Amino acid sequence: MNAPVASPTQGTKIQPMQVLVKGRIDASRRHEQTRYTRIVTPAPDPYSRPQTVEVRSKAQLGQKGEEVAVLAQLGGYTRKPFRSTDKETGEVTSVTPVDLTLDAVE
């Protein structure tokens, strides 16, 4: 990923809760009217792993192996809370997981 990728935000200011995802398309699937595209981003350095994110969209973002830059809206939701016990103190706390979502700005 040494070649620069054209940014869809050139001349556009990124709004709050928006992110620019740059990377290579690893896979794409379709469920009903929504396309889910898995994008692998470049590793920040030679000793760390690349990040993988999934972007939802109505249209196809590209082909597998293609490098893309996608402006996405960040969202999220909470899942069912569960109880967790601290092994050292025995303290029981309630944990509510949060899942993040990325929707392509189209």
Whether the predicted model's global pTM rises above the 0.75 cut: yes
Task: Tell me the C-alpha distance between 29 and 88, whole Å.
Answer: 43
Per-residue pLDDT of the chain (106 residues; tens, 9 = 90+): 444 444 565 667 889 999 999 999 999 999 999 999 999 999 999 999 999 999 999 999 999 999 999 999 999 999 999 999 999 999 999 999 999 999 999 8
Asked if 17 and 54 count as a contact pair (C-beta separation under 8 A), the reply is no
Query: Which residues partner with 30 through β-bridges?
Result: 35
Tell the residue number behind the tokens 């402006």, with chain if given: 71
Task: Tell me the C-alpha distance between 81 and 97, whole Å.
Answer: 7
Please tell me the predicted confidence (pLDDT) of residue 1.
40
Nearest to 60 by CA among 41, 42, 32, 34: 34
Please tell me the predicted confidence (pLDDT) of residue 54.
97
Strands 67-78 and 98-104: antiparallel
